[in-house]
């Protein structure tokens, strides 16, 4: 798959709520995910596709998604692309509802995503 193919497929999966499919199809088993900050009780770095799947499971268990938008992809040949995510969520533990945006930067090598990094605006 080309950089554009991977980027478009990831965005399609996210828009259709099939992120787990994307993790299995598009990510290298040894990939790395880096959050903008440390999540409660965890590390900002997840190593390996199974750890990233666990991070997705944690998110789904802790936040109720009311709406989301996916903007992109924005290509940066030969090996990177970015996506902007906007979301409206409620934190299940506190009941606090909030809207947020983040930029995700993906790095591709040998036809697979090997790194994702998330950037957030200051609150």
39-83 pLDDT, tens digit per residue, is 777 789 999 999 999 988 988 999 999 999 999 999 999 999 999
Strands 63-76 and 80-91 come out as antiparallel
Distances (CA, A) of 18 to 10, 11, 22, 24, 97: 9, 10, 7, 10, 23
CATH hierarchy code of domain 3-120: 3.10.450.50
Q: Is the confidence at residue 123, as pLDDT, over 90? A: no
Per-residue pLDDT band for 5 (boundaries 50, 70, 90) equals very high
pTM: 0.93
Q: Identify the CA nearest to 112 among candidates 84, 82, 79.
A: 79
pLDDT at residue 89 is higher than 70: yes
Sign of the Cα torsion 7, 13, 16, 17 reads negative
Strands 45-47 and 27-34: antiparallel
Percent of the chain at pLDDT > 70 equals 99
Task: Output the average pLDDT for the chain.
Answer: 93
Confidence label for 110 from pLDDT (cuts 50, 70 and 90): very high
Tokens, residue 122: 């200051």
CB-side neighbour CA atoms (13 Å) of 52: 25
């Amino acid at each position: 798959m080309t950089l554009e193919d991977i980027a478009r497929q990831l965005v399609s999966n996210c828009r259709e709520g099939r992120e787990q499919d994307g993790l299995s199809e598009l990510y290298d088993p040894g990939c790395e995910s880096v959050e903008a900050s440390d999540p409660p009780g965890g590390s900002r770095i997840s190593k390996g596709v199974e750890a990233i799947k666990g991070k997705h499971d944690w998110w789904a268990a802790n936040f109720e998604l009311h709406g989301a938008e996916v903007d992109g992809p924005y290509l940066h040949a030969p090996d990177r692309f970015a996506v902007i995510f906007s979301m409206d969520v409620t934190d299940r533990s506190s009941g606090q509802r909030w809207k947020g945006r983040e930029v995700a930067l993906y790095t591709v090598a040998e036809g697979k995503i090997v790194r994702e990094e998330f950037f957030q605006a200051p609150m």
